[in-house]
Structure 1
Amino acid sequence: MSQQNAIEVQKVSKRFGSYQALHSVSFNIRSNEFFTMLGPSGCGKTTLLRMIAGFETPDTGQILLNQRDIVDIPPHKRHVNTVFQSYALFPHMTLEQNVAFGLENLGWDKARRQARVGEMLERVHMSAFANRKPAQLSGGQRQRVALARALAPEPEVLLLDEPLSALDLKLRQAMRDELRALQRDTGITFVFVTHDQEEALDMSDRIAVLGSGEVQQLGTPTEIYEEPVNRFVADFVGETNFLEVQVLESASGRATIRTPFDQVIQVPSPVNMPAGPATLSVRPEKINLGDQAPQSAFDAKVVNKNYMGGYTHYLLSAGGVEFRASRRNASRDGDTISLGSTVSVGFHENAARLLAS
């Protein structure tokens, strides 16, 4: 039995003057899912979020909310709430009044309203601050209140427009856990917009990677990171090495290639690739060094290295090609590979990915 979709984006296009922001974009967001739209500035992710919210209208296409076309429905009648990057709390109101504001507009009676406000402030751990005003709070506390206000009316979908970007690193990491727990606890569909790959990988059930106004790839965090379908996704999500290789033959999702290190190996291929030049993606942490290198290893020189505590990052050179490797410092000895030394290098064939253009 297929899972019900909370949102269906069907062939949506949008142009601003001469700039084409979205090119006939289609994808579905499942009910009770933490869904992330990830991409660089100008990729169309915020435009899509604003269309779902009702602040922008598509030039072509449909947007369905629980199978109902909402393109012509005004924002306040969509059962969709948004948490903005700036939080947009009312400065003259207490936290309690901020959370109650939307419920008053919906006509909730006083007893029901007070019970819901109390429940939501408790859920975001802000009950003790109910009578304070936003100016008396830290950035993380203001964000919690913005979440409580948006969740209070029990929306069908909660939209989050880069809500963590104004927070410092440690608070951002803590709030990721809180957001994920809130989504699981409430069962509400969360649609999260970010340019931060780590946030997307950490929190999402599925990710839509957007680039140049199109969905480049849609999948789970593992699929996006381990099985990028093209160079854009491999380059944008995490770090990778791009190696220019020769395809010798390709069939049934595998390709035989010759690497710049004169190895002939078989690697996964998203499509059957024609014989000739192609690009191989290998993540730095998939490259094994020294005693960890597989039997098909080759020699490389250590050109540079950066010790980062838990890991050491290396810049290596072989066959006139420079590439990066990361090695976990698993013992107290830490980094034992010296700068300028020659080291055995290799990677397992299934850890590499041949890319479509």
Structure 2
Amino acid sequence: MSRQTAVEVINVSKSFGSYQALRSVEFKIRENEFFTMLGPSGCGKTTLLRMIAGFESPDSGSLLLQGRDIVDIPPHKRRVNTVFQSYALFPHMTLAQNVAFGLENLGWEKARITARVGEMLERVHMSAFANRKPDQLSGGQRQRIALARALAAEPEVLLLDEPLSALDLKLRQAMRDELRTLQRDTGITFVFVTHDQEEALDMSDRIAVLGGGEVQQLGTPSEIYEEPSNRFVADFVGETNFVEVEVLEATDTSATVRTPFGPVITAPSSTRMGQGKATLSIRPEKLNLGDQVQGVGFQADVVNKHYLGGYTHYQLAVGGVEIRASRRNASREGDAIAVGSSVHVGFVENAARVLAA
């Protein structure tokens, strides 16, 4: 049985002066889903989040929450809460008072507020800090209190505006796990905005990749990464090699192309390609080297390499183009391919993707 729709964005457009931030954007967010809007600065993701929260209005189009049009409903009357990048905690209040603040404004009874505050502080592992002030906390602890405050009022949707960007790397990684666990435990729909592709791939049920004010692709993390619909998505999400190829023939789902490596290959494509120039996208980790070669094979010269512990990244030259390959160092002697040598390279055709030029 399919899940109900929590949020529906219908043909939404928005301009700020001569700058068009959003162009006829449409998608649905399901109930109890961890949904991420991913894209570079200026792509429209934060504008969309602010529209769902009620801080911005679309120039045209509709926004539905649980099937109800909310465009004309003020922010405080929407069952939507936001966790901001800055956390926005009240510095003069204790943590317990911060969490209670919204519930008091909603007119909850005192006993119910006390119970809910205790429950939320326990959920985010902050019960022992209830009487502290925000300036006595680390960044990660402030983040937890901001989450507890936003979740306390049992919103239908929780909006998260790049909430991990101010944290250091290890804390960001730990908070990812905590956010995902919170989402699963509460069953609340999370709408997460980030420019960090790793965060998006790690936490999301589905991702909307935005670029130029439009949804470039909507799909699961594996669909976005393994089956990019266009060059923008392939380039923005993860690393990839772009190689110019010539399309010889094509169907709706694949294209046979001549590569500069030598072999003619047939690889998946997102749209039917006409004959002529196209772009082959192949992720560095999909290229096998030396004794690991599978599928289509060719020789390449090793121009440079970078040892990064678990992996070594190689820069290769073949057929007048340079490509990058990543090889996992499974043993201490894993980095045995020398700069200046010739190496056998291969990849499975289904691991590549033919995109419009």
* Match of residue 112 from structure 1: 112
> What displacement does 1:320 show?
1.1
The residue number in structure 1 matching 2:53 is 53
Deviations 1:63-97 (A, max 9, x none): 00000000000000000000000000000000000
1:147-204 Cα deviation digits (max 9, x unpaired):
0000000000000000000000000000000000000000000000000000000000
- The Cα offsets for residues 265-293 of structure 1, whole Å up to 9 and x where unpaired, read as 11001111001110000000000000111
Q: Which moved more, 1:296-305 or 1:121-130?
A: 296-305
Report the counterpart of residue 4 of structure 2 in structure 1.
Answer: 4
Alpha-carbon deviations, 1:101-156, whole Å to 9, x = none? 00000000010000000000000000000000000000000000000000000000
1:319 Cα deviation from its structure 2 partner:
1.1
Change over 3 Å in CA distance of 1:249–1:119 after alignment to 2: same
Superposition deviation, residue 219 in structure 1: 0.1
Give the gaps of 5 or more residues in structure 2: none
CA–CA distance in 2 between the matches of 1:193 and 1:288? Answer: 34
Please name the residue that 2:241 is paired with.
Answer: 241
Is residue 2:253 matched to residue 1:253? yes
Equivalent position of 1:76 in the other structure: 76
Identity %: 80
Q: Secondary structure at the match of 2:73?
A: coil
After TM superposition, which residue ranges in structure 1, 4 or more long, deviate above 3 angstroms? none
1:92 is aligned with what amino acid? Answer: H
Match of 2:201 in 1: 201
CA contact (8 A) 1:229 1:356 kept: no
Query: Residue type matched to 2:35 in 1?
Result: F
Q: Give the equivalent residue in structure 2 for 1:38.
A: 38
For 1:301, the aligned partner's letter is D
Separation of aligned partners in 2, 1:33 and 1:254: 32
Tell me if 1:317 matches 2:335: no
TM-score where L is the length of structure 1:
0.99
Letter in 2 for 1:287: L
Per the alignment, residue 169 of structure 1 pairs with 169
Residue 143 of structure 1 is matched in structure 2 by 143
5 Å-filtered alignment, 1:329-348, equals: 329-348=329-348
The structure-2 alpha-carbon separation of the partners of 1:350 and 1:147, relative to structure 1 and needing over 3 Å to count, comes to same
Partners of 2:42 and 2:254 lie apart in 1 by 34
Look up the SS of the partner of 1:297 in the other structure. strand
| Equivalence for 1:191 | 191
Q: Are 1:269 and 2:272 matched, yes or no? A: no
Would you say 1:293 and 2:293 are equivalent positions? Answer: yes
**Aligned equivalent of 2:219:** 219
Q: Distance in 2 between matches of 1:344 and 1:263?
A: 14
Give, as a single letter, the amino acid of the residue that structure 2 aligns with 1:38: L
Tell me the matched-pair count: 357
Q: Partner letter of residue 171 of structure 1?
A: L
Deviation at 1:339, TM superposition (A): 1.1
Aligned-residue CA RMSD (Å): 0.7
Normalised by the length of structure 2, the TM-score is 0.99
Whole-angstrom CA distance in 1 between matches of 2:295 and 2:71: 58
Amino acid at match of 1:340: G
